[in-house]
């Protein structure tokens, strides 16, 4: 069912579409088919009965709230996020801004334990919560990627997942905190977030994720929206018990354009803080991004030229958040 929603930004159209929900308890060919369908139509779906233990999520969320609840001066000690660590409002290196503060990590265990020193008073507890969470969501991402390969009739079902389980995988983990805009009466506060109007602001602007697959979990506060193209946005209702799955640019390339890398954004909530945790599954820097033979046919020749993740990443970071990058890698 499609229902028009009351609060679009400017001339945009905001519509309520029920995003696909995949029940992983029923793993099998039917689920693989549903995942492929959702990845082709939206590049986005929710998973329930995902098998990630509740306490793994709870520990990560607790650590996250502890950190973002610290005074600004303390948080800044874990920054700047260039490229990893604490960042506030600045996104990337080319002037993008949002009403968000965040922690960015490379998923390499050494990077996590080193960063934890400036993030928490109990670095061992913090890094163990992060490592436990990353392990669990990496397993979930692999399971989904294997089902995707199966649903596409690709013989080597670990063709996508083996890239993110590689020892040199360049995966990233991100904790985002979107504080509600401060009301006029709060402007004496020492917080970095002193916005004088009320309502929704852009927390993290429109973009697609450059990696293979994103596994995102947020608290019970809405704000995530996905784009169906032509200025049509779909708000994703919050559900802390499920995970949102986004197809990234590399998976669009590796499926030869069968799957779409979803454009999405996050708005702040007018009165409650939103917290999200995102795992971005990526290959090693030197990995060559190509399509398995099953998705390249005479009727559907290669859409993109082979490229490495290092090449793609370099271009991504030289552009703005909302820029499209994959069309720069089209086959001639």
Q: Please give the positions annotated as active site.
A: 274
Give least dist CB 140 to ligand GA4, A.
18
Nearest 5°: the CA angle 137, 211, 25 is: 35
Residue closer to ligand GA4 by CB (options 61, 209) is 209
Ramachandran angles phi, psi of 104, nearest 5°: -120, 135
Give 120's DSSP letter.
-
Give least dist CB 302 to ligand GA4, A.
25
Question: Of 170, 169, 181, 191, which Cα lies nearest the Cα of 70?
Answer: 191
Residue closer to ligand GA4 by CB (options 145, 321) is 321
**Residue 21 parent element (H or E):** strand 21-23
Strands 13-16 and 44-48, sheet pairing:
unpaired
Give least dist CB 122 to ligand GA4, A.
26
Residue closer to ligand GA4 by CB (options 34, 178) is 178
Per the CB < 8 A criterion, the answer to whether 216 and 246 are in contact is yes
Contacts by residues 28-31 (CB-CB < 8 Å, ≥ 24 positions apart) = 29/150, 29/151, 31/147
The binding site for ligand GA4 (CB under 6 A) comprises 91-92, 94, 96, 104, 172, 174, 207, 209-210, 280, 316-317, 321
User: In whole angstroms, what is the distance from residue 159 CA to residue 136 CA?
Assistant: 20
Per the CB < 8 A criterion, the answer to whether 227 and 247 are in contact is no
Give least dist CB 329 to ligand GA4, A.
15
Q: How far is residue 231 from each of residues 6, 9, 259, 262, 304, measured CA to CA in Å? A: 15, 10, 20, 13, 26
Residue nearest to ligand GA4 (CB): 92
User: In whole angstroms, what is the distance from residue 292 CA to residue 311 CA?
Assistant: 20
Residue closer to ligand GA4 by CB (options 39, 157) is 39
Give least dist CB 34 to ligand GA4, A.
25
Residue closer to ligand GA4 by CB (options 102, 154) is 102
């Amino acid at each position: 069912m499609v229902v028009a929603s009351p609060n679009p930004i400017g001339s945009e159209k905001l519509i309520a579409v029920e995003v696909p929900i995949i029940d992983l308890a029923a793993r099998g060919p039917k689920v693989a088919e549903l995942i492929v369908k959702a990845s082709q139509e939206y590049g986005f779906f929710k998973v329930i009965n995902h098998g990630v233990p509740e306490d793994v999520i709870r520990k990560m969320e607790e650590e996250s709230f502890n950190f973002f609840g610290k005074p600004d001066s303390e948080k800044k000690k874990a920054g700047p996020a260039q490229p990893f660590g604490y960042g506030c409002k600045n996104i990337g290196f080319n002037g993008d801004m949002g009403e968000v503060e965040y922690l960015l990590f490379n998923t390499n265990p050494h990077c996590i334990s080193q960063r934890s020193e400036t993030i928490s008073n109990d670095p061992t507890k913090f890094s163990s919560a992060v490592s436990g969470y990353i392990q669990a969501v990496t397993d979930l991402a692999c399971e989904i990627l294997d089902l995707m390969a199966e649903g596409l009739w690709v013989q080597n079902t670990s063709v996508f997942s083996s890239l993110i389980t590689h020892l040199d995988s360049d995966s990233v983990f991100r904790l985002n905190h979107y504080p509600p805009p401060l009301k006029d009466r709060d402007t004496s506060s020492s917080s970095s977030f002193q916005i004088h109007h009320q309502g929704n602001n852009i927390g993290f602007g429109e973009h697609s994720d450059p990696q293979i697959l994103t596994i995102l979990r947020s608290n019970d506060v809405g704000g995530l929206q996905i784009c169906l193209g032509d200025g049509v946005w779909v708000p994703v209702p919050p559900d802390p018990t499920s995970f949102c799955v986004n197809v990234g640019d590399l998976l669009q390339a590796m499926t030869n354009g069968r799957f779409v890398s979803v454009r999405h954004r996050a708005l702040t909530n007018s009165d409650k803080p939103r917290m999200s945790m995102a795992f971005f599954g990526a290959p090693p820097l030197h990995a060559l991004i190509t399509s398995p033979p099953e998705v390249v046919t005479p009727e559907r020749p290669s859409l993109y030229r082979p490229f490495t993740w290092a090449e793609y990443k370099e271009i991504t970071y030289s552009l703005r958040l909302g820029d499209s990058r994959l069309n720069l890698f089209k086959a001639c």
